[in-house]
Amino acid sequence: MKKIKIVFDATIITSVRNDMKFGIFNVAKNLLIEFMKRNDVEIRLFSRELNKKLAFDNLKKYTNANKLPCEFEVSTLWVIKHTAKRIIDLLPPKIADKLKIIIRTFVNKCFRRPKVESASLQTTNNKKDVQNEFFFSPFCATPKCYKNLQECIVVYDTIPMILDGYAQRNGWFFELCDSLNTQSICFSISEYTKSDFLKHLPHLKPENIIVTPLACDERFKPVPEDKITAARQKYKIPSDKKYIFSLCTLEPRKNLLRTVKCFANFISKNNIDDLVFVLGGAHWDAFTKKLENEIGSLDENIKTRILKIGYVDDSDQAALYSGALFFVYTSAYEGFGLPPLEAMSCGTPVITSNNSSLPEVVGNAGIMIDYDDDAAHIKAYESYYYNENLRKENSKKGLERAGLFSWEKCADIMITEMKRRAGL
């Protein structure tokens, strides 16, 4: 059997520190695991992580891929860019923009193309000579030293282009867009993302953007009551209260200011005293201040019912989903929306917005509303809170809907497309 060869960019896996992981990490991890299961694929890895021990430890811990050959980028440029990014994220926008221009000018003048360490690396300027070899990136642009290979990039959304406040934090996205050409193979995580990329990058060819819906980890499934109780105790969720759950990065587009305000109006309107709102997830410092101000402006007996529990460990997520009365995720824009799929996989009824890619994920298995409609939020909360039959019905629909998505299907679409391009 002829195999396709894939250089897999594992940087986002190898660079994990303190077990802090986010959505794109899970995409990279699960795709690498699925690729490794195939007997028609030969994989070697690429990483920009400078700490090689950390890199191999993470590969072993998360994917058991530590025995695969791995090529490391030796680049002072990478150190400068990521140190600068951490500094820039802490600065006011105007100062940050000026500093980015200065750093970019300095980097362009002082640094050349990074070198790659690998005894086995073979390069050529003729793509025909490596037509069965691909560089696969689940996140960033293809490094210049691999541009001789056919590039396959996972594309998620165009948020930095269209939402205020996101361009500054996502320099990698614009580097990616600048690198894409008419030959680039893009695996789009939704039909909506595909249409957005074609809208904003019209030079891309529709036939080169392949829709590949994501999935969630196998750990997301209904869990026993004892695990729910343990998770509630760990995150200090009152045992005598029901709870609404939201799990996402605390950032502007997640619409949390509105969902918190509507929760306050909902419990005030209906004199509800047995319900709390649990907000889980890491946060943007600047946005957290706005959220705290919103919560702080509420009545004393209401603000204590909004619990910010911070980053939620992987091992606790399914339990917190499973124990929730329902899950709220009325984002202003999503390239896919993994948290609603995770919630549905745990049998939790969901409320989501009806925009961007979310209808592709949720289908008819949840309540979908306009993200900016306060009255619709309150009505949706009331529908689930007072209607146990609706909760049960949408729990069942959600489980069935979630069963349509799998990492095996996602990886198979990608491998099939690469084999087609390689003529295999």
Distance CA 69, CA 66 (A): 8
User: Quick one: pLDDT band at residue 78, thresholds 50, 70, 90?
Assistant: low
The winner for highest mean pLDDT among 64-78, 197-211, 245-259 is 197-211
Q: What is the pLDDT of residues 277-327, one digit of tens each?
A: 999 988 776 677 777 777 777 787 888 899 999 899 999 999 999 999 999
Close Cβ partners of 338 (under 8 Å, ≥ 6 residues apart): 23, 26, 214, 216
Distance CA 25, CA 139 (A): 9
Distance CA 197, CA 118 (A): 34
> Is residue 358 one of the residues assigned to a domain?
yes
Same domain? For 202 and 348 the reply is no
Is residue 186 within 8 A of residue 208, CB to CB? The reply is yes
Indicate which CATH number applies to the domain containing 329.
Answer: 3.40.50.2000
User: Quick one: pLDDT band at residue 101, thresholds 50, 70, 90?
Assistant: low
Is residue 170 within 8 A of residue 181, CB to CB? The reply is no
Q: Beta 115-117 vs 350-353: how paired, if at all?
A: unpaired
Rounded alpha-carbon distances, angstroms, from residue 250 to 190, 271, 291: 23, 28, 9
Q: What is the pLDDT of residues 31-64, one digit of tens each?
A: 999 999 999 999 999 998 888 999 999 999 999 9
The pLDDT value given to residue 123:
38
> Is residue 103 one of the residues assigned to a domain?
no
Distance CA 136, CA 142 (A): 8
> Is residue 96 one of the residues assigned to a domain?
no
Same domain? For 174 and 36 the reply is yes
Same domain? For 164 and 239 the reply is no
Q: Worst-scoring range by mean pLDDT, 13-27, 73-87, 322-336? A: 73-87
Structure tokens at 160: 């930095």
Same domain? For 189 and 324 the reply is no
Other C-beta atoms closer than 10 Å to the C-beta of 360 total 17
Domain total in the chain: 2
The pLDDT value given to residue 74:
63
Same domain? For 291 and 416 the reply is no
Close Cβ partners of 13 (under 8 Å, ≥ 6 residues apart): 25, 28, 29, 32, 58, 59, 62, 63
> Is residue 99 one of the residues assigned to a domain?
no
Same domain? For 197 and 252 the reply is no
Residue numbers of the domain that contains 241: 225-402
Q: What is the pLDDT of residues 145-171, one digit of tens each?
A: 898 999 999 999 999 988 887 877 677
Closest CA to 382 of 265, 298, 295: 265
pLDDT at 121 over 90: no
Angular region, 42: left φ>0, alpha ψ -120 to 50, beta rest: beta
